[in-house]
Each structure stands twice: as structure tokens, then as C-alpha cells.
Structure 1
């Protein structure tokens, strides 16, 4: 089963993903995409780490997500990726269009064929105003296109608002 969980900041999407992964009673691999560039982000990462059960395996992969999934996905395991928009930011901030396209393609091409259960978490950022700078506009566009592509390949898509999950697909 492949699931995409979308929501705004502090919507409860990560909590929902963790609940769903834990409810499977399978081994869980948590792939974290965040990079800490300041104290506040270090605190956020630490809070997320403390919220996870200690027996879950964690892999930090800020760039090569498709490869990490291909190398680690297996039957009888859940992989939870949190979050795609941080991964997308990491790629876009490298300012290397060919690297960005290669890594995005790697994820999209492997996603459906991966064995085991996969839960992807991502921020829905396209519901606000259009930003006044080119990088922010590109980020919103790329996130929207990525979400559409993954939603089309997902068995289930869930949107979370104020801790309430709304099933969008099936």
C-alpha cells in the first residue's frame, strides 16, 4: 500500500503517519529528510525523534530519496518518509536543475514498484497567496506537481487539517 498524507504546518499529518505506521505492527523505517541549519531546526528534529518509538529505525536522507527507498524497501516493513517538501527544498536550494530533475525522476519512477508499505508525508503549500519571489513560486509549483504525480500513483491520499484526517483517495 502506498499512501500520501498532505496537510499544512502543524496540521497533525506527521502524527497521523506515525500512528498508521505503528498500527501495522511491522518494522518501521523512518526516512527523515530535514537538515538542521540553526538551533530552532535542531529543536524541531529532536522533538520529532523523541516522538518516535525507540525501536523504529531512522535513516537521514536529505537528497537521494529515490535511491534510499530502492535500497531499503522490503515486504513486511513500513517506510515512513517525513517530509517531501523539506526534501524538495533541499534539492531546489542546491540550484542545480539537472540534479533536481534526476532525483525527482528517481522517486517518481520507483514509487509504485517498491515492495512493502510506504507512507509519504508532505506539506500542502499551494493554498495561500502567490509569493513575490521566483524561488518561492517555483517551490510551490514543484510541490504541487510532485503531489499530483504521487497522488495519481498512491492507493490512498489523506489530507489533514487541525488534526482531522480527510480521505481524498480512494
Structure 2
């Protein structure tokens, strides 16, 4: 069984950079799972995606926004030597309307990641550190993100908080 590593923290805290540093030790067979569904009208996000791609080794394979991450990984030949999933928040954004079903779906994904023969890094975001949003849907999203982060940290063999580029071990 591989390790499950959870990296969380605020925006621009160095989570993705740290995930790449960790996964580089796993060789050229790493698979990067991008949970963002591309929007052709969002040039700023396209630039973010391009920048992130340039920071990863060219040999890594990329899966873009698979419907079920674990099923997409199981279908790969050859299997990965390690996996980086970026990010839990974008994964949730694609399933936001499902509420509890999204929580259950992520729990099933976590079980599969823990049973995998390769290590997995999941990148999350701590979005609940700001004031309580006035908008009900934003409060619901923030709460779901927090619950997903808690479940991921509980399932992980390691959990890290990234702050200003510095990793702080949580467990």
C-alpha cells in the first residue's frame, strides 16, 4: 500500500510546489490529476494552468478532470509510480450541488487511494479562515470544503499545512 499525503493551506502557500518536490522522488511514472475543467473563456485561469504545467517534470502524465479519479487511475497502463491530485477544492467545485453525495464520493476515493500500490498526494485549500460569508451557497461550499479536508487528513498517513512556503507537519 502506498502513502496518502495531504497538503493543505491558504492560496499561494506553496502547496503545489511542495507536492512536485515530494513526487519527483517517485520517478517519471508520476501522474498529475488536474481536477479543474478548462473554461475556454477564462484566460487568467489558462495562464495559471500553463504555469503549473511548466513547474512539473515533462515526463509526468496528466489526467484532466476525470469523473472518478480512482477509476481513471486504475485504467492507466502502465500504472503510476505516484499520483498528485490538484486540487480537492476544484474537485468539490465540480460536484458542489451534490452536498452529502460529494462527501460520500470523496470517502470512496480516499479508500481507493489508501489501498493503492503507489503513493498519492492530495492538495487541499484552507478556505474557512476568512469571515463567515454572507451568501448561503458560499457558506455551504466553505463547510463542505472543511469536511472534505477533515476526512482527507484523517485518512492520510501524513498531513501538512503549508504557510508562506514552509511545511508544518500536522500528523
Scaled to the shorter chain, the TM-score interval is 0.7 to 0.9
SS at 1:123 equivalent: coil
For 1:72 and 1:153, the matched residues in 2 are separated by 24
For 1:62 and 1:76, the matched residues in 2 are separated by 15
Number of paired residues? 167
Deviations 1:40-69, CA, capped at 9 Å, x for gaps: 111111111111111111111254224334
What's the CA shift for 1:105? 4.0
Is the Cα contact below 8 Å between 1:91 and 1:100 reproduced in 2? yes
Relative to the length of structure 1, the TM-score reads 0.87
**CA RMSD in angstroms, aligned pairs only:** 2.2
Q: Which residue in the other structure is 2:52 paired with?
A: 48
Question: Aligned pair in 2 of structure 1 residues 87, 78: CA closer, same or farther (>3 Å)?
Answer: same
For 1:96 and 1:34, the matched residues in 2 are separated by 17
Is the Cα contact below 8 Å between 2:23 and 2:82 reproduced in 1? yes
Question: Aligned pair in 2 of structure 1 residues 114, 141: CA closer, same or farther (>3 Å)?
Answer: same
For 2:78 and 2:156, the matched residues in 1 are separated by 17
Q: Which residue in the other structure is 2:19 paired with?
A: 17
For 2:136 and 2:74, the matched residues in 1 are separated by 33
Structure 2 unaligned segments of length 5 or more: list them. none
What's the CA shift for 1:27? 1.9
Question: Aligned pair in 2 of structure 1 residues 152, 101: CA closer, same or farther (>3 Å)?
Answer: closer
Relative to the length of structure 2, the TM-score reads 0.87
Deviations 1:121-168, CA, capped at 9 Å, x for gaps: 111111111111122111111111111111111110010010000011
Q: Which residue in the other structure is 2:29 paired with?
A: 27
Selected match of 1:82 from 81, 86, 103: 86
- Indicate the structure with greater strand content: 1
Deviations 1:75-131, CA, capped at 9 Å, x for gaps: 771100011101101111xx3457635633432332322221001111111111111
Q: Which residue in the other structure is 2:62 paired with?
A: 58
Question: Aligned pair in 2 of structure 1 residues 73, 82: CA closer, same or farther (>3 Å)?
Answer: farther
Question: Aligned pair in 2 of structure 1 residues 101, 76: CA closer, same or farther (>3 Å)?
Answer: closer
Question: Aligned pair in 2 of structure 1 residues 101, 70: CA closer, same or farther (>3 Å)?
Answer: farther
For 1:164 and 1:98, the matched residues in 2 are separated by 33
